[in-house]
């Protein structure tokens, strides 16, 4: 690791900030050790899956056209199913985002007259648009005649299990959506133990109503953070993005759906066409998808290490953080409450200066499809929009929080954190305090 003197030689960072970061690193050893232990377990889990499925170089070959007979594509789906706790898996570059994966699953399962019940209150901005909660756009679930209800979180920001049971009894929903990560909300992310309790309540209550309720977990940002995955505790479908955790910063795009075989078949038919389903789908550069998944436990470990130390560093500089530095990690997202528009902009501008790609650019807030407020996004990533590479974003609304995620190697992350703090110092938004 570079010393503070070396960092000062290469990057314009005040010595006192380097000292504060080193203190944060020293104080984070126990939390980092926990993360490393989980990562070691998940390395073994991933390696065992690769070996049990007999992955060979043949599986990395490209397919074209319809993609019939693409064994590598099919084995990749089985890998994801094995690792994330499903009977079947669908992994495709044609799935463009986590929101797209969720939309496919929702449209595959729900029919006119059905009701979708959101277990964690209002979903994040882009998914709320898909449901039809925001301004009218074509193709929403609301236009399809699908009903929507939600159960607010309890005062601690966790699923209200009693209220959930009441809602499942009254609504008899066809599908319950469980959002693991916080989105842009200031609430805790859900761990697998939280998911297990929530799914158990839904399943037990739906038995009493006489109508099966499907449990769909949005697993974005949570993959390989814990030793268990949602599919291992009863989730019927689990979905996510390959430019987040499971792609390891190597997969160039795509998304995944794992779960019950009959439900994954329904999603495949929605992705392609009824009667064709998962048999189609050309797939290029498969080696990157296999290799990204293989590296994912290590990359997630590095991202979590960066999140823990970022929490300790910025808390020491006087900012509220969530989760706290020593709290158990449930996803890779670290929320830093910066308190003002100016501080949020300075943080993102500084972080950009610590990135390997487009470090000279200045990110600015913009209106983005599916978001209610202008959003600023910082991150010079090799893959556009990659959230497992170091990035930060946040909506321009109180309390002006930055949501930090990713970081494939902590030594890079520490420089970006210092540059973000230094930019705040440069603009008079942060000053050295006596110890």
**Peptide bond preceding 216 in cis form (omega within 30 of 0):** no
Return the pLDDT at 6.
Answer: 77
Angle subtended by helix axes 286-316 and 71-84, to nearest 10:
30
- Angle subtended at Cα 190 by Cα 189 and Cα 194, rounded to the nearest 5 degrees: 160
For the stretch 156-169, pLDDT in tens is 999 999 999 999 99
Domain architecture of the chain: domains with CATH: 4-41+297-426 (3.90.1150.60), 43-293 (3.40.640.10)
Average model confidence (pLDDT) for the chain?
95
Nearest Cα neighbor of 412 from 295, 321, 299 is 299
State which residues of the chain have pLDDT below 50. Answer: 1-2
- In the block, which residue shows the tokens 């329904």? 266
pTM of the model: 0.95
Give the H or E element holding residue 107.
helix 98-109
Q: How many CA atoms lie within 13 A of 241 on its CB side?
A: 20
pLDDT reported for residue 433: 63
- List alpha helices for 117-260, DSSP H: 125-131, 161-171, 192-209
For residue 201, CA distances in Å to 109, 164, 190 come to 20, 8, 15
Beta strands 391-395 and 375-378, pairing class: antiparallel
pLDDT tens digits for range 321-378: 999 999 999 999 999 999 999 999 999 999 999 999 999 999 999 987 767 789 999 9
State whether residue 73 is helix, strand or coil. helix
State how far the alpha carbon of 302 is from the alpha carbons of 3, 73, 227, in Å.
Answer: 19, 28, 16
- Tokens 């297990």 locate to 196
C-alpha 321/C-alpha 309 separation (Å) is 11
Rounded CA-CA distance 180/336 in Å is 19
């Amino acid at each position: 690791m570079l010393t503070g003197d070396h960092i000062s030689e290469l990057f314009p960072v005040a010595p006192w900030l380097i000292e504060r970061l080193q203190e944060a690193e020293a104080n984070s050893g126990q939390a980092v050790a926990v993360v490393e232990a989980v990562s070691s377990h998940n390395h073994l889990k991933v390696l065992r899956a690769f070996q049990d499925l007999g992955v060979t170089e043949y599986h990395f070959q490209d397919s074209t056209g319809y993609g019939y007979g693409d064994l590598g594509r099919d084995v990749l789906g089985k890998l994801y199913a094995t690792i994330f706790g499903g009977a079947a898996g669908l992994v495709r570059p044609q799935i463009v985002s986590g929101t797209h994966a969720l939309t496919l699953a929702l449209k595959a399962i729900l029919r006119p007259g059905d009701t979708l019940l959101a277990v964690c209150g209002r979903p994040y901005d882009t998914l709320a648009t898909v449901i039809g909660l925001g301004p009218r756009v074509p193709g929403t679930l609301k236009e399809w005649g699908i009903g929507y209800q939600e159960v607010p979180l309890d005062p601690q920001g966790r699923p209200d299990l009693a209220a959930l049971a009441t809602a499942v009894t009254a609504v008899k929903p066809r599908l319950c959506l469980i959002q693991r990560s916080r989105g842009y909300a200031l609430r805790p992310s859900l761990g697998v133990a939280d998911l297990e309790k929530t799914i158990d309540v839904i399943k037990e209550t739906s038995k009493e109503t006489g109508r099966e309720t499907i449990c769909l977990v949005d697993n974005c940002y949570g993959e390989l953070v814990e030793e268990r995955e949602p599919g291992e505790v009863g989730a019927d479908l689990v979905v996510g993005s390959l430019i987040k955790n499971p792609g390891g910063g190597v997969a160039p795009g795509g998304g995944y759906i794992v779960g019950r075989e009959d439900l994954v078949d329904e999603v495949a038919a929605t992705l392609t066409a009824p009667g064709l389903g998962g048999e189609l789908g050309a797939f290029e550069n498969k080696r990157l998808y296999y290799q990204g998944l293989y590296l994912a436990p290590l990359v997630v470990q590095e991202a979590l290490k960066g999140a823990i130390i970022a929490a300790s560093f910025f808390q020491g500089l006087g900012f509220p953080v969530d989760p706290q530095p020593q709290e158990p990690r449930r996803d890779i997202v670290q929320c830093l409450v910066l308190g003002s528009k100016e501080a949020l902009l300075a943080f993102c501008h500084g972080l950009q200066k610590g990135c390997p790609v487009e470090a000279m650019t200045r990110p600015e807030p913009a209106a983005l499809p599916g978001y209610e407020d202008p959003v600023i996004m910082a991150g010079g990533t090799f893959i556009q929009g990659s959230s497992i590479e170091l990035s930060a974003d946040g909506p321009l609304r109180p309390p002006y929080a930055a949501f930090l995620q990713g970081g494939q190697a902590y030594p890079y992350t520490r420089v970006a954190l210092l540059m973000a703090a230094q930019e705040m110092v440069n603009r008079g938004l942060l000053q050295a305090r006596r110890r």
